[in-house]
Structure 1
Amino acid sequence: MTTDHTHNSATATPPGAPDRPRTAGAFTPRITPAQCRALLAGARDPIGLLPKSVNLRTLASLADVGYVGLDQSRDVLRGQKATLDALDVWGGALTEDGWQRARAEGAGRFRIVVVGCGKAKQDRRVTAGAMYVGTFHGSCRETAKALLQNGGRQYILSAAHGLLDLSTEIDPYDITVGDPGSVSADFVQAQVRERGIESAEVTVLAGSKYVALARQSWPGLEAPLAGAGYRRRYEVVELAEAPAREYIQANHYLSGWPPTVHRFGLVDLEAAGGDDGQVVDGQLLVGVVVLGVPMSRRALTRVFPSLEPYTEALEMSRVCLSPSVASNGESFTVAAALRLAAGHGVRGVVTYADPVARLRTLPDGRTAGSPRGHLGVIYQALSATYTGRSTARTVIVLPDGQVLPARSIAKFVTGDRGADGFERRIVALGASQRPAGADRRAWLRTALEQIGARRQRHPGTYRYALPVGRTRAERSRAVLGMPALPYPKWVDARHPT
């Protein structure tokens, strides 16, 4: 008889209940180098199975501290048929505690792939790994194995049961997500919390309903299959500076134009000929992504110390899409833009989300921005690494709600390029003309008082890091110089965590 390895730990758990991670401050058992190697080897298997080379004494000792569940068959755990003679006696698989200890020992960020259940099923009670027999589900399972070749864990998201280990036995059922009796987002969230996998790196291979259900637990999940329709309707292309700047200044909540290196546009291939909007090479432009140069070189080298700033490492300073673009379009557009940027040698991108509300009235009367601020959900959806807030600072807010960039102030004071445009903008808001030869810094101080500009304390923006590359080898160049932190979340309508 096969034992569900996720419930065979040293601490007794009610039958059918998910394992609970060790609580903060709980005793952490000491393990030998051989035991550590066994845990790391198990973490490289998609479902946590330890290799046959691990001896029985090591297996038993890891089982005693709750890191491994002993089982009589690797084949049964994998959902495969096996004759009695072919069974691997005393196989071992990592428990939830074992997964967490393996990660603590250097197994890397906890990786999970969730595969949606399928309509075609067995007609009898079997393990979840063997229940679904449809071609699409089978292809997703194979893809999951490939994604987890360097370690991680695979679950099935069932409309009837929620998250399922492959070894859990279930009966056939006939409901899908959204049907009466199907699991709720709250139910799945409780399962995720019980397993201690809220901060895992998650990829969901399923349709949009299942992705939406899973996204309630993991806002930053990747869903490569949910965006298939974008590739038929939209295309991301490289842009010259002029059309990119025109689009941003007409549509983004920040009116300024940053120094740019690469610019990418999202074009709608199915837009009707009479649709209003900016056209590039005969196609309607519906979005722009800008990669550029931050104010400080250190903004790049702190995050990616091994990359050359301004060439291999850049700041993603603008992302702006038309409201006409279908949901999740931002993630699709940014991912495609970064693939193009990789062809130019870009290997890492730093980007920021401003949690402070910013609104701007656009030239055509529309309002851009967010009255709530931004968490960086786009970047979380791309599995970007959150590295904390930027430095808290005091900003100057103009009467039109725009923040006066420190870069613009510095250029004006020194008389650099763009100083005349900056001065005209301040005068247009109601300031007196600057007398010829007058001290620029003194005039600006008086002008800001005249127009009613105010100083506001800013808590710092949320900083995210994204490796860039067309292959794993290229992406591996982006070695982070800062620790990864849990994603920020809204705890109420005003204050993010």
Structure 2
Amino acid sequence: MHTTRSQRWRDRRSRWVPAASEIDPRRLAVDVIETRKVAAPFVRAHHYAASMPVTRLSVGLFAGGAGGRSELVGVCVFSHPVNDASVAKNAGLRDPRAACDLGRLVVLDSQGGNAESFLVARAFRLLRREKPEILSVISYADPVRRTDAQGHVFLPGHVGGLYAVMAARYLGRSSRRTDLILPDGRPISSRALSKIRNAECGQRYATDDLLAVEAPPRLVGEEPRAWLSRLERSGFLRRQRHPGCHAYVFPLTRAARYAAARIPAQPYPVLDRTAVAGDVTALPLLTRSA
């Protein structure tokens, strides 16, 4: 076992429930949900990133609520890959449309320890039904512990214990990178930064996200690149080196399993229980790179 507890979420704060606690499947249901009106508000309210990726399918976990009404208690979001190259690198597939990322997974702390695997396994079935062109799912585990401006830990860092339990293939680390970190401890996605710098479609939403956390606004006539540079020089944004996320792949079909088998799998990473900051991966995998 990688841990005796399961990570849960509420109000963008990480919480833990005993992994030995079990759900009652008779009280739960899993179904496709509308992304913009249902999945996105839930993810923004409870997931530490408070944002949604470009989504291909959203799936919800429902539990019996008050008055016999169903209550949304979890969301699984399948999103476009981080980049097209990751599909060949991690899934062994040539067509970038043949794989997606497990972009968001959030389950409320009211649910038992095995609720995540219950949701993900059924979400995979729905993904195959709704998007048959998708043959594999790629997932990343961020091992860096993150704190907000007050020093409160809102993301303890994880190594993908759930994915290991579900027999995903572990492929090593994604590329090392440098993150730009907001005052509340959240990193800004490289895609959002690219949209702002290059004035791409969606730049307004990325800019609004910065303004929502009280970033100094652009000056009259100031170029987007110059604005981001100013935010960094002023200390509003700070740079942080990242060792790379742990990368996993779930082949969903026989053909996908054959394709994935061409990529060497590695031993599952182990959580360092003594880590209080930075990367929580136990050595020697701390320095290993995919």
Task: Please give the range of the TM-score, normalised by the shorter of the 2 chains.
Answer: 0.7 to 0.9
Aligned to 1:335: 121
1:496 aligns with 2:281: yes
Contact 2:21–2:112 under 8 Å retained in 1: no
1:375 CA drift (Å)? 1.0
SS in 1 for 2:226: helix
Structure having the larger proportion of residues in strand: 2
Shift of 1:272: 1.9
Cα deviation 1:420-479 (Å, max 9, x = unaligned): 23323334444433134321101111023335321111010000111114xxx4664553
Q: Is the 8 A contact 2:91 2:256 kept in 1?
A: no
Equivalent residue, structure 1, for 2:176? 392
Paired residue secondary structure (2:233) = helix
Flag the 1:410–1:247 CA change in 2: closer, same or farther, 3 A.
same
Residues 142-157 of structure 1: matches in 2 within 5 Å?
none
Task: State the partner residue of 1:422.
Answer: 206
Structure 1 distance, partners of 2:26, 2:84, is 39
Q: Determine helix, strand or coil for the equivalent of 1:302.
A: helix
Deviates more, 1:298-307 or 1:452-461: 298-307
How much has 1:256 moved relative to structure 2?
2.0
Which residue of 2 is the match for residue 303 of structure 1? 90
In the alignment, what sits opposite 1:318? 104
What is residue 101 of structure 1 aligned with on the other side? none
**1:289 matches 2:37:** no
Q: Is the 8 A contact 2:2 2:271 kept in 1?
A: no
- In structure 2, relative to structure 1, the CA distance for the partners of 1:297 and 1:257 (3 Å cut) is same
Moved more, 345-354 or 300-309: 300-309
Q: CA–CA distance in 2 between the matches of 1:336 and 1:307?
A: 26
Amino acid at match of 1:399: P
Q: Aligned partners of 2:40, 2:3: CA distance in 1, in Å?
A: 37
For residue 65 of structure 2, the aligned residue among 247, 271, 280 is 271
The two structures have a TM-score, normalised by structure 2, of 0.80
Tell me, which stretches of 5 or more residues in structure 1 are unaligned? 1-214, 220-225, 275-281, 362-366
| Structure 1: distance between partners of 2:123 and 2:258 | 18
TM-score (norm 1): 0.48
Aligned to 1:444: 228
> Quick check: 2:91–2:251 contact (8 Å CA) kept in 1?
no
Corresponding residue for residue 41 of structure 2: 246
Quick check: 1:431–1:448 contact (8 Å CA) kept in 2? no
SS in 1 for 2:100: strand
Question: Quick one: which amino acid aligns to residue 85 of structure 2?
Answer: R
Q: 1:323 to 1:368 in 2, by over 3 A?
A: farther
Gaps of 5+ in 2: 6-19, 283-290
Task: Give the number of the structure with larger relative contact order, counting CA–CA contacts within 8 Å between residues 6 or more apart.
Answer: 2
Aligned equivalents of 1:351, 1:216: Cα separation in 2: 17
The higher radius of gyration belongs to: 1
RMSD of equivalent CA atoms? 2.8
Deviations 1:313-343 (A, max 9, x none): 1111110001011111111111110111122
Q: Which amino acid aligns with 1:466?
A: F
Alignment length (residue pairs): 259
